[in-house]
């Protein structure tokens, strides 16, 4: 079984531009490349897990995410980082597209996307981590049996805490998260 780092997209891996599907506006977050490279070198799969309620809300079409995924893979590829998986939830209970206006088991804080990725990619969730910028990301990771890290960048506004929403650590960026993860796995890591 493989180990993985599941990454939230908006506000974590890429700069948050609400409901953006314009590839020209996709920019990787600061302080992520060194950490992602080190995690990949240590054998972690890198899997993106993202809620995309803009589809259910009718803001953009599902196929518009193809260009977004391609751009993210391209940006990471410039640094020889491979995105191993790209999973998204198109649902939202308040959506205007009836078939997508549902309560589902994949929309974070539910863990359905992580379970699906683990099954399809042979990932051991107990050896894996979830990194995100809001507590719904943390909760999804914890529900799946992963260890979870919160990037405390000001995007969480509710701070509704309970045991499921408690991160193992709070950090400023993915590079810091990578140091934490690698040290927990017994690796000697200098600052990034």
Q: Sorting pLDDT into bands at 50, 70 and 90, what band is 55? A: very high
Cis amide prior to 53 (ω within 30 degrees): no
pLDDT for 180? 97
Q: What is the pLDDT of residues 148-163, one digit of tens each?
A: 999 999 998 888 889 9
CATH architecture of 7-124: 3-Layer(aba) Sandwich (3.40)
Q: Which residue has the higher pLDDT, 157 or 9?
A: 9
Distance (Å, rounded) from C-alpha 5 to C-alpha 190?
A: 20
Sequence spans of domains, the chain: 7-124
pLDDT digit string, tens, across residues 161-182: 899 999 999 999 999 999 999 9
The confidence score (pLDDT) of residue 186 equals 83
Model confidence at 102: pLDDT above 70: yes
Q: How much is the average pLDDT of 8-22? A: 97
Q: What single string gives the DSSP state of each residue in the chain? A: -BEEEEE-TBTTTB---TT---GGG--BPSS-HHHHHHHHHTTEEEEEEEE-TTTTTTSS-GGGHHHHHHHHHHHHHTTT----EEEEE---TT-SSGGG-S--SSSTTS-HHHHHHHHHHTB-GGG-EEEESSHHHHHHHHHHT-EEEEE-SS--------GGG--SEEESSHHHHHHHHHHHTT------
Question: What does the pLDDT read at residue 191?
Answer: 60
List, in order, residues 6 or more apart from 120 with CB less than 8 Å away.
85
Cα→Cα distances 115→22, 24, 39, 108, 191, Å: 29, 31, 21, 12, 32
Average pLDDT over residues 17-37: 97
Give me the active site residues, please: 8, 10
CB 180 within 8 A of CB 35: no
């Amino acid at each position: 079984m493989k180990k993985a780092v599941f990454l939230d997209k908006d506000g974590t891996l890429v700069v948050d531009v609400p409901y953006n599907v314009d590839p020209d506006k996709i920019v990787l977050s600061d302080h992520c490349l060194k950490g992602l490279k080190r995690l990949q070198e240590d054998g972690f799969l890198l899997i993106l897990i993202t809620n995309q309620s803009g589809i259910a809300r009718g803001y953009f079409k599902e196929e518009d995410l193809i260009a977004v995924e391609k751009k993210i893979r391209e940006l990471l590829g410039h640094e020889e980082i491979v995105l191993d998986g790209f999973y998204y939830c198109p649902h939202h209970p308040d959506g205007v597209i009836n078939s997508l206006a549902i309560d589902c088991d994949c929309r974070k804080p539910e863990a359905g996307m992580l379970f699906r990725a683990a099954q399809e990619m042979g990932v051991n969730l107990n050896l894996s981590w979830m990194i995100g910028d809001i507590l719904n990301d943390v909760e999804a990771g914890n529900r799946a049996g992963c260890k979870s890290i919160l990037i405390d960048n000001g995007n969480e506004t509710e701070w509704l805490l309970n045991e499921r929403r408690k991160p193992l650590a709070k950090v400023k960026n993915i590079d810091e998260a990578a140091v934490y993860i690698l040290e927990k796995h017994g690796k000697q890591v200098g600052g990034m």
